[in-house]
Amino acid sequence: MIVSQTPFRISFVGGGTDFEDFYRRYPGRVLSTSIDKYIYVAVNKKFDDRIRISYSKTENVKDVEEIEHLIVKAVLRELGIKKGVEIVSIGDIPGKGTGLGSSSSFTVGLLKSLYSYLGESILPGALAEKAAEIEIKKVGAPIGKQDHYAAAFGGLNQITFNPDGTVNVEPIYLTPKIKQEFQRHLLMFYTGIQRSSTPILSEQKVNIEEKVEDLKKLSNLVPIFRKAIEKGNFKEAGELLHQNWLIKKRLSSKISNSLIEQMYNKAIQAKAWGGKILGAGGGGFLLVIASPENHLAVKRALKNYQLVSFRFTESGSKIILRN
């Protein structure tokens, strides 16, 4: 049996600039971190020639082409695995529509496990690129590439998507004290809404041509946000996150809604410096930056929503069991 552990991620600024239709004309940039919430993908040889897949539902089929799960089907096709395998996935948080990059983490983790199952190794860059190719090109998901790189590499990074198609992953090394303080300033609340990101991202993708200037602004916020956290200026980081959120909402009419606006405004009124809905928008998790002395006020303002604790992590997708 092979088991991979792949982190989910939090993206702070630059989301949306990782679409190929944008970064082919202007460098896309995102700043994100992996967190201690994971998806585990177990792969084992099946005693018969069937294929069994267990996720939120269970499939037991004779042939790859019968598989309903589009990512699993595409990955097995890509790797030439036709029969006799069992795949099980388990996540620390809801696996769909939460804005933590879960589908991409699953794709990365599935590939990591299956390459190991086949006796092969793969480097993080190749793993991220293969996962992105499968989700975007083979499955046809209207998404960018940032989540695949965040899951494969892990850690706190600035990721740049260049017009020539290359990707640079630059680790951000904060001093232990600043890193601890950065985490102390963050709060994450679950909106209670799980949504499909596809309609939001499809609209966002269609709008790229007319939103190029907004996307450039989002990309250009990344190095400024990076400098702010490197200096330990979390008030500035919060204000930049607020700017990012105001611009991001212009990319699609579905990114925010009345509930999200109500949550966000309550946080700001409780003296949070800024925040954003993670991922595509429309639901999932609200991330807030506030002075620790105002955390109690923010928590009280958002008392009807689940507070979810998390920590930054350093590792990307890895094999944790092989026997």
pLDDT at 195: 65
Whether the CB-CB separation of 131 and 104 falls below 8 Å is answered with yes
263 contacts 191 by C-beta, under 8 angstroms: yes
Per-residue pLDDT tens over the stretch 237-270? 999 999 999 999 988 888 888 999 999 999 999 9
230-240 mean pLDDT: 98
Strand order, beta sheet including 306-307: 274-277, 285-289, 186-190, 306-307
- As a whole number of angstroms, the distance between CA 296 and CA 11 comes to 24
Q: Which CATH number fits domain 2-173+313-322: 3.40.50.360, 3.40.50.1000, 3.30.230.120, 1.20.1290.10?
A: 3.30.230.120
Q: Which H helix or E strand runs over 186? A: strand 186-190
| Confidence check: pLDDT of 223 > 90 | yes
pLDDT at 186 over 90: yes
Give the model's pLDDT for residue 97: 67
The pLDDT value recorded for residue 256 is 84
pTM over the 0.85 mark: yes
Nearest to 9, CA basis, from 288, 310, 291: 310
pLDDT tens-place string over residues 20-73: 999 999 999 999 999 999 999 999 999 999 999 999 999 999 999 999 999 999
pLDDT at 275 over 70: yes
Rounded distance, CA 112 to CA 153, Å? Answer: 12
Higher pLDDT among residues 277 and 204, named by residue: 277
The Cα-based distances of 277 to 10, 13, 77, 239, 282 in angstroms read 10, 11, 35, 15, 8
CATH class of domain segment(s) 176-307? alpha beta
- Give ranges for CATH 3.30.230.120 in the chain: 2-173+313-322
Residue 168, pLDDT above cutoff 90: yes
Q: Where in the chain is the domain with CATH 3.30.70.890?
A: 176-307
